[in-house]
Amino acid sequence: MTPVIGTGPAVRPSGAERGVGGRALVRAPGPRLAEGIVTHAARRPVDVALAARQHEAYVAALRSAGWRVRAVAPADDHPDAVFVEDALVVCGGVAVIGRSGEERRRGEVAGAERAARELGLRIERIEAPGTLDGGDVLQAGDTVYVGRGTRTNEEGICQLARFVGGRRVVPVDITGCLHLKSAMTALPDGGLIGVPEMVDTSVLPCLRVPREPTGAQVVVLGPDHVLMAASAPRTAARLAADGLRVTSVDISEFEALDGCVTCLSVLVP
């Protein structure tokens, strides 16, 4: 893919991006992780023991950045449950419980909903015929970009729009990737980083495009701090040169299952 560098209009960072000290919901990988659904990656064996160690390092990075980690109840019958981001979207004081377009993943939401209730969040739900995965929802300032693809449909996006407190909701068609946040994520200043070939750029500001699409997603840990996968060293170097503090973690076993750094947590300011 041809790299293109550009900058979009600055937007006000969302709550999780303004600072640290919030809570991070995570769910440990279960014993059936290697059976996880693979849609775009070339399937290869997954080392479940290594994945467990990688997840522990990921959680340690969150704690080191000041986030208080809260474990979501295991869902060991669901191989993909470790990708807890897909189960719910947190916007302000509301937790929107998703309804995946992949029926095999719908049983993952119960534990995530319990964790959200314990945090005192108001619960809303995506109802049939709507579908929505949290991995398709990217909050950047007052705008909520929502990927429209195999896991999230138009009805799900319309329902989400009713729950996000009047923020602007922008549907984004995606192609060649599992979720919107497989293709683009937001930096602390609100700029977007991603691969334009995977998204409808007509509805987006310019993307700051990495030289390597794999692993180039970011989780914003603080005003100048991002978490990235170790598989994107060139992008990490570029962001560091731009003045960001970059923490890299190895998540190779989750990348083998179409996962990325955003999939493994839900940050709640």
User: Which residue, 188, 256, 192, is CA-closest to 45?
Assistant: 256
The set of residues, in sequence order, having a beta carbon less than 8 Å from that of 170 and lying 6+ positions away, is 143, 144, 145, 146, 203, 204
Asked whether residue 53 carries a pLDDT value surpassing 50, the answer given is: yes
pTM over 0.95: no
**How confident is the model at residue 213, as a pLDDT?**
86
pLDDT band at 24, cuts 50/70/90? very high
- The pairing of strands 88-91 and 94-97 is antiparallel
Q: What average pLDDT is seen over the chain?
A: 92
Of residues 55, 78, 179, 225, which has the active-site annotation? 179
Both tokens of residue 107?
Answer: 């049983």
Q: Which of 235, 233, 230, 227 is nearest to 265 (CA)?
A: 227
Residue 11 predicted with pLDDT over 80: no
Q: Catalytic annotation on 179?
A: yes
At 17, is the pLDDT very low, low, confident or very high (cuts 50, 70, 90)? Answer: very low
Q: 236 with 228: CB under 8 angstroms?
A: yes
Range scoring the smallest mean pLDDT among 13-22, 40-49, 134-143, 218-227: 13-22
Pull the structure tokens for residue 159.
């329902």
The catalytically annotated residue of 91, 177, 260, 263 is 263
What are the structural domains, with CATH classification, of the chain?
Answer: 15-268 (3.75.10.10)
